[in-house]
Structure 1
Amino acid sequence: MIQNPGFLLTVLAFVAVIGPLVFVHELGHYLVGRWFGVKAEAFSIGFGPELAAWVDKRGTRWRIGALPLGGYVRFKGDMNAASQTDPAWLQLPPSERAESFPAKPLWQKAAIVAAGPFINFLFAILILSTFAFVYGESRTPAVAGKVQAGSAAAAAGIQAGDRILSLNGREMTTFDDLRLYAQIRPAEPVTILVERSGRTVEKQGRVGAVQEQDGFGNRFKVGRLGIAPAQPVIEPVELWRAPAVALKQTGQIIRTMVETLGQILGGGRSVKELGGPLKIAEVSGQAATLGVESFVFFMALISINLGFINLLPIPMLDGGHLLFYGVEAIQRRPVSARVQEWAYRSGLAVLLAMMMLVTFNDLSSFGLWERLSGLIG
Structure 2
Amino acid sequence: MNLLIELLAFAVAIGVLVVVHEYGHYSVARLCGVKVLRFSIGFGRPLFQWVSPKTGTEWTIAALPLGGYVKMLDERETGTEPIPADALPHAFNRQPVWRRFAIVAAGPVANFLLAIVLFALVFATGVTEPAAVIAAPAPNTPAAVAGFDGGETIVAVRAGEASESEPVRSWSDLRWKLLGAAFDHKRVVLSAKDAHGTSDFQLDLRGLTEKDVDDDFMSHLGFEPGGGKLTVAGVQPGSAAQKAGLVTGDRLRAVDGTPTDNATAFIAYVKSHAGKPVMLQVERGGQAGQAGKLEDVSVVPQSQRDETTGQQIGRIGAELATQVPSIDVHYGPVESLQLGAHRTWDLAVYSVRMFGRMIIGEASLKNLSGPVTIADYAGKSARLGPSAFLSFLALVSISLGVLNLLPIPVLDGGHLLYYLVEAVTGKVVSDRWQLVFQRAGLACIVALSAIALFNDLARLIHF
TM over 0.5: yes
CA contact (8 A) 1:185 1:222 kept: no
CA contact (8 A) 1:172 1:178 kept: no
CA contact (8 A) 2:147 2:201 kept: no
Distance 1:101 1:257 in 2: 31
3-state SS in 2 of match to 1:366:
helix
1:11 match: 7
Distance 2:86 2:337 in 1: 42
Distance 1:343 1:119 in 2: 26
3-state SS in 2 of match to 1:275:
coil
RMSD of aligned Cα (Å): 3.9
Instruction: Quote how far apart the aligned CAs of 1:33 are.
Output: 0.8
1:81 match: none
CA contact (8 A) 2:137 2:148 kept: no
The amino acid across from 1:73 in the alignment is V
Q: CA, structure 1 residues 199+247, in 2 after alignment: closer, same or farther (shift >3 Å)?
A: closer
CA contact (8 A) 1:152 1:207 kept: no
Instruction: Quote how far apart the aligned CAs of 1:343 are.
Output: 1.2
* Residue in structure 2 matching 1:105, options 90, 96, 104: 96
Distance 1:93 1:105 in 2: 20
Matches within 5 A, 1:96-135: 96-135=87-126
3-state SS in 2 of match to 1:333:
coil
4+ aligned runs moved over 3 Å, structure 1 = 85-91, 144-147, 154-169, 171-178, 181-186, 188-211, 227-236
The amino acid across from 1:101 in the alignment is F
CA contact (8 A) 1:129 1:243 kept: yes
Matches within 5 A, 1:1-377: 6-57=2-53, 58-77=55-74, 85-86=76-77, 91-135=82-126, 148-150=137-139, 152-154=141-143, 156-159=145-148, 165-166=158-159, 173-175=166-168, 179-180=175-176, 192-194=187-189, 203=204, 221-224=215-218, 225-227=221-223, 236-367=330-461
Q: Deviations over 1:338-364 (max 9, x none)?
A: 111111111111111111111111111
Q: Deviations over 1:64-97 (max 9, x none)?
A: 222221110010116xxxxxx4386995222121
Aligned length: 346
TM-score (norm 2): 0.64
Instruction: Quote how far apart the aligned CAs of 1:190 are.
Output: 5.7
3-state SS in 2 of match to 1:323:
helix
Instruction: Quote how far apart the aligned CAs of 1:242 are.
Output: 2.4
The amino acid across from 1:31 in the alignment is S
Q: Quick check: 37-46 or 288-297, which moved more?
A: 288-297
Distance 1:26 1:148 in 2: 48
The amino acid across from 2:351 in the alignment is M
Q: Quick check: 159-168 or 111-120, which moved more?
A: 159-168
Larger C-alpha radius of gyration, 1 or 2? 2
1:217 match: none
Gaps of 5+ in 2: 192-197, 228-324
3-state SS in 1 of match to 2:216:
strand
Q: CA, structure 1 residues 53+266, in 2 after alignment: closer, same or farther (shift >3 Å)?
A: same
CA contact (8 A) 1:182 1:223 kept: no
Q: Deviations over 1:204-236 (max 9, x none)?
A: 77659999xxxxxxxx94112224699998775
Aligned-residue sequence identity (percent) comes to 34
3-state SS in 1 of match to 2:427:
coil
Distance 1:106 1:9 in 2: 44
Gaps of 5+ in 1: 79-84, 212-219, 371-377
